[in-house]
């Protein structure tokens, strides 16, 4: 296997030690970023504000320093304002100084990894996570600078098939380098984009990408397993009591149904990011399963066809994710209504049932389309809340 060095990944990697101050200074000079800061302290002169920020930046040498001093407190502030509580549980077999790829269902564009960072720090893990983020979200220079200061590496979107393959190999090589040479943790979503209906499934293409830059250069089943194992994958289940973007997802479903060729704009992406961060969440729970390496060791590579191995691994990750969901009353009421199984109503109180019905009505009213189809929108939002419980039940039965 080719031996890589950090500079081989300058085009996609996060900032390294020694680069943080220059990046921070460039962000302070950005006019759009300066305008955002002005909104927080409109009474403070720009020169004084920047001087204070530079003073507070003294001592920050690495992205993890930045996360712990700044981002941890920002995320906790968001959670205090927008969630009723949060909790986590990491499998006891996970080593606090280990290097893992946390592969999770995707609930929020920004907060999935940011909340994980807070929980890892609070639980005493040595490292936070480097995160994969699509370059389609980096619509302003200051956003790109900020995410690279926050341990983000770039996923290139909108490429030709040939460019996509080259980019995927490069990113995979970086991820293996980050795990095995930098000894970092990584967070990556189990699929490209969020599952709009919350039917969370690991895309085989994500697993295939992970194998492209691994140490085993062959393409046999045994080589694929070895390259997956090299990433130390930990299935992570993220559970929100309420999805702040549920009404936006329902709105998107109707627009795609009614408007031929409709596609989200960059402004739509920004609106989703803002709503996801500051919208109502209820309780949040993170549950990390054991690393899948021991399970991978039980597979008989010689008896598994190469065409099946990615599906088998994806199904295992999904089962681990689904069984670790935290189930809330909203999930129970939604599945009862979608499935017609009224016996499920016995598992919630009458008050919880009424509260979710009121919540559902409120969310539908927030949808902004020319002719809102309320029954259609209701069905879509109910399905979003029903699917986690549906998958959870199935994982327990298997």
Q: Tell me the pLDDT band of 115, cut-offs 50, 70 and 90.
A: very high
pLDDT digits 0-9 by tens, 169-182: 999 999 999 999 99
Residue 192 has pLDDT above 80, yes or no: no
Q: How confident is the model at residue 82 (pLDDT cuts 50, 70, 90)?
A: very high
How are strands ordered across the β-sheet holding 233-240? 83-90, 282-288, 233-240, 101-104, 185-189, 129-134, 152-155
Which domains can be identified in the chain, with CATH numbers? 6-17+62-244+280-326 (3.40.1130), 245-278+327-398 (no CATH)
Confidence of residue 1 (pLDDT cuts 50, 70, 90): low
pLDDT of residue 66: 93
Core vs surface per residue 209-242: b (16+ CB within 10 A) or e:
bbbbbbebeeeebbbbbbbbbbbbbbbbbbbbbb
Per-residue pLDDT tens over the stretch 339-358: 999 999 999 999 999 999 99
Over the stretch 193-232, which tens digit does the pLDDT of each residue have? 777 889 999 999 999 999 999 999 888 999 999 999 999 9
User: Are 160 and 199 in contact, with CB atoms under 8 Å apart?
Assistant: no
pLDDT band at residue 98 using 50, 70 and 90 as cut-offs: very high
Mean of per-residue pLDDT scores for the chain: 93
Q: Quick one: pLDDT at residue 78? A: 94
**The model's pTM:** 0.92
């Amino acid at each position: 296997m080719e031996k890589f060095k950090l500079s081989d990944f300058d085009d996609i990697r996060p900032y390294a030690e020694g680069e943080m101050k220059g990046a921070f200074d460039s962000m302070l000079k950005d006019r759009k970023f300066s305008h955002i800061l002005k909104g927080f302290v409109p009474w403070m002169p720009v020169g004084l504000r920047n001087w204070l920020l530079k003073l507070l930046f003294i001592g920050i040498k690495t992205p993890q320093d930045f996360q712990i001093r700044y981002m941890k407190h920002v995320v906790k502030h968001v959670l205090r304002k927008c969630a009723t509580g949060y909790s986590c549980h990491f499998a006891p077999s996970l080593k606090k100084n280990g290097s893992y790829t946390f592969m999770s269902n995707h609930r929020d564009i920004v907060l999935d990894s940011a909340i994980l960072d807070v929980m890892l720090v609070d639980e005493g893990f040595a490292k936070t996570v480097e995160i994969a983020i699509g370059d389609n979200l980096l619509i302003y220079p200051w956003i790109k600078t900020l995410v690279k200061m926050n341990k983000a590496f770039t996923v290139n979107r909108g490429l030709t098939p040939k460019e996509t393959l080259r980019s995927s190999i490069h990113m995979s090589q970086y991820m293996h380098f980050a795990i095995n040479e930098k000894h970092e943790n990584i967070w990556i979503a189990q699929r490209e984009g969020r599952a709009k209906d919350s039917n969370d499934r690991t895309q085989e293409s994500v697993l295939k990408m992970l194998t492209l830059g691994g140490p085993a250069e062959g393409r046999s089943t045994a080589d694929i397993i070895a390259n997956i194992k090299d990433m130390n994958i930990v299935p992570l289940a993220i559970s929100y009591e309420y999805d702040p973007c549920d009404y936006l997802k329902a709105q998107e479903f109707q627009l795609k149904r009614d408007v031929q060729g409709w596609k989200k704009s960059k402004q739509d992406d920004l609106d989703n990011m803002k709503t996801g961060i500051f919208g109502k969440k209820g309780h949040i729970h993170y549950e990390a399963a054991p690393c899948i390496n021991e399970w991978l060791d039980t597979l008989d590579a010689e008896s598994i066809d190469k065409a099946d191995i990615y599906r088998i691994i994806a199904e295992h990750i999904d089962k681990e994710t689904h069984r670790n969901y935290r189930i809330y009353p909203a999930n129970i009421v939604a599945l009862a209504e979608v499935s017609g199984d009224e016996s499920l109503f016995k598992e919630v109180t009458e008050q919880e049932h009424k509260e979710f019905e009121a919540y559902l009505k409120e969310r539908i009213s927030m949808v902004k389309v020319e002719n809102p189809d309320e029954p259609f929108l209701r069905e879509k939002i109910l399905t979003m809340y029903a699917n986690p419980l549906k998958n959870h039940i199935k994982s327990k039965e298997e």
